[in-house]
């Protein structure tokens, strides 16, 4: 059974957790527990990849073709037969509202639509791939999703007759339209449980049984692939009475990817995920946020406390960066490179409480990094603990004054970030 939480990655957010009833499943893939919380990091598949996984488990999906150029989209439309739907492939919702989904009635229109979508920026993701699907006649749209209820430590299936729209909007405005069923992970989703849910959505016995079969297959998919989320929105009833998954969303637990080398090999990371992956290779735990104070800290607990202090004082952390309990100067160099590479960072706050980590090692690494990296970013250092006097001496020789109080350091970093001279 693959429902495990990665213990290596933590994330701080500036808003509180949503109850599972009121949260959309995409957000639950990196669920916010509190102001300072642990997050389950995950690998999101793009739609064409998720549909490939759905096919593996017998879930009916349209026979689409993934393309990367407008000419390939034209050829795909000719092969599939028009009309077709051209969909941007990005790891974000709201593609339709952003103009990333278009219907084409001819291969020529498919070329034009693809050309207009490729290169678009949708919520920070550049569109480099498209999925060309056959257009279908829809009689009804429904929602089916399986995720993990962290509070109960169980998988839960959610279904609704209000599909094809944001599920969090349905939960907020008409929560009575969403039905839940906890799943015993030892037994899985049983056929009679799926049928009870399906008959809440469909009056027709034939369609209800088809939907129930898809629900069971969706459970087998999330269980077999060690996923933390499997979602169909919409699950469509077509004019001919068939039931098809028109969209697909899968989020895999990255702590289980070693058991799924095929899926791991298909990973298409976003730029921030690529940075996180490279950081991990250097022994660093890094998660990029959207703030302006770059943080370098030793230990996950102190890192989260540091970000809490920054938020409390009115600043915004740009990242979570834990250099670990035993840090060599080389790790500090790599950590500094990560911080400088983020264009949102206006000031850097280095907060080290030396236990196993030696303050002099951090100081040497920082001096070496500043000699290699050309940056005018304001820098605030707080050093205390093992070999702190030696660390302070090394920094002072390089012209850096180290503070001993975390709150004082955070306040100074915020002040420097807000100065006009701190802009980049």
CA 93 to CA 251: how far, in whole Å?
13
Average pLDDT score over residue span 279-305? 90
Q: Which residues of 164-177 are buried (b: 16+ CB within 10 A; e: fewer)?
A: bebbbebbeeeeee
Q: What is the DSSP string of 161-184?
A: S--SS-HHHHHHH-GGGEEEEE--
23-61, pLDDT tens digit by residue? 444 433 333 323 333 334 568 899 999 999 999 999 999
Q: Is pLDDT above 80 for 21? A: no
DSSP strand pairing (10-12 vs 36-38): antiparallel
Q: Is pLDDT above 50 for 22? A: no
* Bridge partners for 295 per DSSP: 349
Catalytically active residues, by annotation = 143, 231
Q: Is pLDDT above 90 for 118? A: yes
Q: How many Cβ atoms from other residues are within 10 Å of residue 252's Cβ?
A: 28
Query: What is this structure's pTM?
Result: 0.68
Q: Are 304 and 357 in contact (CB under 8 A)?
A: no
Helix (H) / strand (E) containing 355: none
CA distances from 24 to 81, 92, 229 (A): 34, 13, 11
Place of tokens 């629900």: 215
Q: Which of 90-94, 304-308, 392-396 has the lowest mean pLDDT?
A: 90-94
Domains of the chain by start residue, with CATH:
41-45+139-265 (3.30.470.20), 63-134 (3.30.1490.20), 271-422 (3.40.50.261)
Q: Is pLDDT above 90 for 269? A: no
Using a 10 angstrom Cβ sphere, with 0-12 exposed, 13-18 middle and 19 or more buried, the burial of residue 90 is: buried
């Amino acid at each position: 059974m693959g429902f495990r939480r990665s213990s290596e990655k933590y994330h701080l957010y500036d808003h509180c957790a949503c109850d599972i009833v009121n949260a959309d499943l995409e957000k639950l893939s990196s669920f916010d527990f509190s102001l300072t919380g642990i997050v389950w990091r995950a690998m999101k598949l793009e739609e064409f990849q998720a549909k490939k996984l759905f096919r593996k488990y017998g879930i009916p999906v349209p026979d689409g073709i993934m393309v990367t150029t407008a000419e390939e989209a034209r050829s795909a439309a000719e092969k599939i037969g028009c009309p077709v739907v051209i969909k941007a492939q990005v790891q974000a919702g709201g593609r339709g509202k952003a103009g990333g989904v278009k219907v084409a009635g001819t291969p020529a229109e498919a070329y034009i639509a693809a050309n207009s979508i490729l290169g678009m920026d949708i919520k920070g993701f550049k569109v480099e791939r498209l999925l060309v699907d056959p257009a279908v006649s829809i009689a009804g749209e429904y929602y089916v999703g399986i995720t993990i209820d962290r509070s109960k430590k169980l998988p839960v299936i959610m279904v609704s007759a209000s599909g094809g729209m944001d599920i969090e909007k349905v939960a907020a405005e008409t929560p009575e339209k969403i039905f839940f069923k906890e799943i015993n992970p030892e037994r899985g989703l049983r056929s009679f449980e799926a049928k009870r849910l399906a008959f809440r959505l469909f009056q027709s016995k034939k369609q209800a049984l088809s939907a129930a079969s898809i629900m069971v297959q969706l459970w087998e998919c999330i269980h077999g692939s060690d996923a933390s989320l499997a979602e169909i929105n919409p699950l469509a009833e077509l004019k001919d009475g068939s039931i098809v998954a028109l969209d697909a969303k899968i989020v895999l637990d990255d702590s289980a990817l070693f058991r799924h080398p095929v899926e791991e090999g298909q990973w298409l990371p976003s730029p921030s995920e690529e940075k996180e992956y490279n950081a991990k290779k250097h022994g660093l735990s890094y998660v990029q946020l959207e703030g302006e104070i770059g943080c370098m800290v030793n230990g996950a607990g102190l890192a989260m406390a540091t970000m809490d202090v920054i938020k409390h004082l009115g600043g915004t952390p740009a990242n979570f960066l834990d250099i670990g309990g035993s840090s060599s100067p080389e790790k500090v160099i790599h950590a500094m490179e990560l911080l400088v590479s983020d264009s949102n960072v206006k000031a850097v706050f280095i907060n080290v409480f030396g236990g196993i980590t030696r303050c002099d090692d951090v100081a040497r690494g920082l001096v070496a990094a500043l000699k290699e990296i050309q940056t005018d970013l304001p820098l605030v250092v707080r050093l205390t603990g093992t070999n702190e006097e030696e660390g302070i001496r090394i920094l002072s020789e390089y012209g850096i004054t180290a503070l001993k109080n975390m709150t004082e350091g955070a306040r100074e970093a915020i002040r420097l970030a807000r100065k006009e001279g701190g802009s980049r």
